[in-house]
Amino acid sequence: MDQSIRRTSADAAANAAGSSRLVVLDALRGLAALGILWRNIFVFGMPAVAFSLPEEWGEAVVSNVASWLFVVIFVDGTMRGLFSLIFGATAILLMERHARDPGGLLAADLYFRRLMWLIAFGIIHGYLLLWPHDVLYVYGLLGMFLFVFRNLSGRKLLAIALVVFAISSLKDGTGLSLDQISSDAFEAAQSEQVLPDEGTDAQPDGAGQPPLAPPQDNAQQEAEQQESEDEAAMFEELERMALAEMDERLAGYTEVVRNLAPETFQEQTTLFFTDHILDVGAMMFFGMALYRLGAFSGGWSTGQYAALALAGLSGGIFLGFLVHGTNAIPGFESWSLGSWDAYFYNLRRLLIGLGLIGLANLLARSGAGRVLLAPFVAVGKIPLTVYIGQTVICGIVFYGFGFGLFGSMEHHQLLMIALGINVAQILFALAWQRTGHQGPLEWLLRWLVQQGPQASTGANRKA
């Protein structure tokens, strides 16, 4: 690895503290690892169509709508985005650490070995552990590209992040997708081949004559009846889809593997190129830029962190309310962003992520704040174990080869289960921290990374 990798204030602060870890990075990583379950639990526990229908799915309407609003405003996409921010920052931290020890080509070898094993973990996580929406595979692939940008300044990285972010937001807002464009073009070509030439079909008697207009009252009644029939048909279709998904999830293990494999394949192939590169890539570059600019090391003033926390959290939550709350809470319909809501999906999650970075830095500046961060710091040291552990637990709880609770719970109940799993994982992390060892899967990843030619160098390797 190029020995001219920049030494940032964050790196200096970490060394001054006698540790290569940053408290804020660990705390935010831990929060993301725990918080991502607040959204994922609904994928594990209920049909996809049920999540967006909190008023229809279950009897506790108020609790369900409140739970849904919390998730779609504060959590959905945000925790994944925060995870990606931290991954980008950690990528530079690892490259800087490897540049010092062992240095040279061996440093690059360690970095890329780690990413290749993350890809392997992601494939196993997706196909065998039954989580199609795995992020490890995506991080492993995109992390390889980050190596090229390792020596750029914070401002240049920020400029790249803003460009990728703008493209991603434009794609989401317009619905433009290379996958969709290709699909539409293929369908259009197929249609042209099967459609008959114009003028070859004889027109039926009376063709070309305008139909008689029904009386006004009859027309209104027919319109209302048609609307009612369309709504009933829609709910019938949604119910059919929900029941079909329940049948898939409540099957035995091998059957669930077969049912979810196509979705995992799509996530790791087509959607990787059409969605994940822009979505995840933008957040990774933001994380790299913020690391270079000292945002994770306490290098900014208290006023700057306070402004970041206030502007980020209030702006992101308010934007989320305009997108979702206005459609769910009576009396705020006029505040809705309407068809513009998709343009602000990325902005909402970025603002909340930045707000959490500001808040974590503020808390890290006081003894009481560090006590509050301690559980998240403990989890942030074993994020791989926590993340994959959630999948194993939820698979056992919800799928047919376990307790088979898929589709049997309402929104607020699933959210409570997620928080219960969080508490158990925090207690595990705090207990494990006392052993002084890496988490089980973190240890496995490090062991795998260290196997190979570099094992005989005697270098002090830190994967």
Least confident of 30-44, 138-152, 219-233: 219-233
Given a cut of 90, whether residue 439 has pLDDT beyond it is yes
8 Å CB contact between 292 and 92 = yes
Nearest CA to 171 among 276, 87, 317, 40? 276
Q: What digits encode the pLDDT tens for the residues 215-266?
A: 556 777 766 666 676 667 777 888 899 999 999 999 999 999 999 999 999 9
Q: What digits encode the pLDDT tens for the residues 305-325?
A: 999 999 999 999 999 999 998
What is the pLDDT, as a whole number, of residue 455? 47
CB 193: neighbour CB atoms within 10 A? 6
CB 253: neighbour CB atoms within 10 A? 14
Q: What angle do CA 139, 144, 149 make, to 5 degrees?
A: 110
Task: State how far the Cα of 423 lies from the Cα of 77, in Å rounded to an integer.
Answer: 22
* Burial of 125 per CB tally in 10 Å (0-12, 13-18, 19+): buried
Nearest CA to 439 among 424, 449, 429, 426? 429
Task: State how far the Cα of 320 lies from the Cα of 73, in Å rounded to an integer.
Answer: 5
Task: State how far the Cα of 377 lies from the Cα of 363, in Å rounded to an integer.
Answer: 12
Placement of tokens 């942030």 in the chain: 380
Instruction: Please give the distance of CA 72 from its chain centroid, rounded to a whole number.
Output: 12
Listed in sequence order, the residues at least 6 apart from 51 whose beta carbon sits closer than 8 Å to its beta carbon are 42, 43, 68, 411
Given a cut of 60, whether residue 75 has pLDDT beyond it is yes
Task: State how far the Cα of 249 lies from the Cα of 166, in Å rounded to an integer.
Answer: 37
pLDDT category at 178 given cuts 50, 70, 90 is: low
pLDDT category at 19 given cuts 50, 70, 90 is: very low
Q: What backbone torsions phi and psi does residue 435 show, to the nearest 5 degrees?
A: -75, -20
Instruction: Please give the distance of CA 399 from its chain centroid, rounded to a whole number.
Output: 22
Task: State how far the Cα of 449 lies from the Cα of 455, in Å rounded to an integer.
Answer: 10
Show the tokens assigned to 185: 């073009």
Nearest CA to 150 among 113, 107, 185? 107
Show the tokens assigned to 9: 């204030």
Given a cut of 50, whether residue 2 has pLDDT beyond it is no
Distances (CA, A) of 238 to 231, 233, 437: 11, 9, 48
8 Å CB contact between 115 and 143 = yes
8 Å CB contact between 286 and 165 = yes
Cis peptide before 102 (omega within 30 of 0): yes
The percent of residues in the chain predicted with pLDDT above 90, rounded, is 68
Q: What is the CA radius of gyration of the chain?
A: 26
Given a cut of 60, whether residue 110 has pLDDT beyond it is yes
8 Å CB contact between 161 and 289 = yes
Greatest mean pLDDT among 194-208, 233-247, 283-297 = 283-297
Q: Which DSSP letter does residue 413 get?
A: H
What is the pLDDT, as a whole number, of residue 450? 87
> Measured on CA atoms in the order 422, 372, 296, 95, is the torsion positive or negative?
negative
What is the pLDDT, as a whole number, of residue 49? 92
Distances (CA, A) of 135 to 68, 142, 321: 23, 11, 27
Show the tokens assigned to 399: 């799928």
Q: Which DSSP letter does residue 252 get?
A: -
> Measured on CA atoms in the order 310, 313, 317, 319, is the torsion positive or negative?
positive
